[in-house]
């Protein structure tokens, strides 16, 4: 009972996200202040991906790299099954769901998996942690390449300004890929420092996300965000997010069992294959889409983030409470 009560408490980060959206709604940044915020946000994104690379342990990856069935199933769910779900929902929602919201759901489905929470939930559930480290890390690294390409294929919508261009490619290289590679190469110099200050540096993820959310929603509010999207649109975001999450969780569990994996390996597949990264997704969106489009593009992701944490907390607890084999 105590566990069930605890998971229903609002995540402080969720409250921070709500407060940030409220601030952008009533006090959006504009003019020279918006320019300054854009520079600060871009610097935060560079630092964020540098730290992502610096945290990536080659030893942990090598420890789990042999579990190839887990990696294939988790990555196929992340970059094949999820996009199919998103595109299908966009197709069936044509005519009754706001197109920008539908595109936001598709973008959500094109993102890589989380790293920290995938590993944490696998550990709580007594699953294959080394394989989860390898699979979640591979998802994040591949996402730097695959998410922009998939975005260009499925969200190149002309007048709405999304898609893949030479400018977005250059931005991806300079803001995401290069800092990530430099961060990973810096591990001999920075690894010990990062290990000692793990908690403090972990706040960079959330601070960067809040910065991007504030600048994104500021631009969207100025463009008339809350006049263009109704309460019904927000309700449909919640419902369709729940559908996406339920399908992903069901598929990963079914696929792991169909492949004959052990319970520990099944757990790694479920938690690495069913989640989407807010920490990577929001900065990627800021690189790939114009400022005025960012609000509706990241809105489904912000809600999905909290939903996946609550659902996976319950599932991890149930897995973890099973009898030892």
Model pLDDT, residue 46: 85
Question: Cα Rg for the chain, rounded, in angstroms?
Answer: 19
Helix (H) or strand (E) holding 43: helix 31-55
- Rounded to 10°, the helix 68-76/263-273 angle is 30
29-319: CATH class: mainly alpha
Distance of CA 71 to the CA centre of its chain: 18
| Geometric angle at alpha carbon 214, from 19 and 220, rounded to 5° | 110
User: Which pLDDT belongs to residue 2?
Assistant: 43
Question: In whole angstroms, how far apart are CA 64 and each of 68, 138, 147?
Answer: 9, 11, 24
Tokens standing for residue 82: 């999820």
CB-based contacts of 119, cutoff 8 Å, min separation 6: 129, 132, 133, 136
State how far Cα 317 lies from the chain centre. 22
Count of Cβ atoms closer than 10 Å to residue 128 Cβ: 25
**What is the C-alpha to C-alpha distance for residues 317 and 324, in angstroms, rounded to an integer?**
14
Instruction: Report the pLDDT value the prediction gives residue 5, as an integer from 0 to 100.
Output: 41
Residue ranges in the chain whose pLDDT is less than 50: 1-8, 158-163
Given a contact cutoff of 8 angstroms between Cβ atoms, the answer to whether 304 and 245 are in contact is: yes
Rounded Cα distance, 4 and 10, in Å: 12
Residue 228 is predicted with a pLDDT of 72
What pLDDT score does 202 carry? 67
Instruction: Note the pLDDT tens digit of each residue in 74-87.
Output: 999 999 999 999 99
pLDDT in tens, 229-271: 778 888 899 999 999 999 999 999 999 999 999 999 999 999 9
Confidence (pLDDT) at 3: 43
Distance CA 279, CA 276 (A): 9
pLDDT at 162: 46
């Amino acid at each position: 009972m105590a566990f069930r009560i605890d998971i229903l408490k609002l995540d402080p980060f969720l409250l921070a996200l709500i407060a940030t959206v409220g601030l952008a709604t009533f006090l959006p940044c504009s003019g020279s202040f918006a320019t300054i915020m854009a520079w600060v946000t871009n610097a935060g994104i560079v630092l964020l991906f540098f730290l992502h690379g610096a945290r990536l342990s080659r030893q942990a990856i090598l420890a789990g790299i042999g579990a190839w069935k887990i990696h294939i199933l988790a990555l196929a769910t992340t970059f094949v099954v999820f996009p199919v779900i998103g595109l299908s929902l966009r197709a069936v929602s044509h005519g009754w769901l706001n197109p920008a919201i539908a595109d936001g759901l598709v973008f959500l489905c094109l993102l890589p998996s989380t790293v920290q929470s995938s590993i944490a939930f696998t550990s709580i559930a007594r699953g294959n942690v080394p394989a989860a480290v390898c699979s979640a890390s591979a998802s994040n690294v591949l996402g730097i390449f695959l998410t922009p390409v998939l975005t260009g294929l499925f969200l190149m919508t002309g007048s709405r300004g999304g898609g893949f261009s030479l400018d977005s490619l250059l931005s991806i290289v300079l803001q995401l890929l290069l800092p990530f590679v430099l961060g990973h190469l810096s591990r001999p110099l920075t690894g010990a420092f990062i290990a000692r200050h793990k908690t403090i540096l972990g706040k960079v993820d959330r601070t960067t996300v809040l910065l991007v959310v504030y600048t994104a929603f500021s631009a969207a509010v100025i463009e008339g965000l809350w006049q263009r999207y109704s309460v019904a649109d927000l309700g449909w975001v919640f419902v369709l997010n729940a559908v996406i999450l339920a399908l992903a969780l069901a598929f990963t569990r079914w696929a792991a069992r169909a492949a004959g994996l052990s319970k520990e390996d099944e757990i790694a597949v479920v938690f690495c294959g069913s989640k989407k990264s807010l920490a990577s997704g929001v900065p990627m969106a800021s690189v790939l889409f114009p400022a005025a489009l960012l609000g509706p593009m990241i809105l489904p992701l912000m809600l999905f983030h909290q939903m996946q944490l609550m659902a996976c907390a319950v599932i991890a607890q149930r897995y973890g409470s099973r009898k030892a084999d």
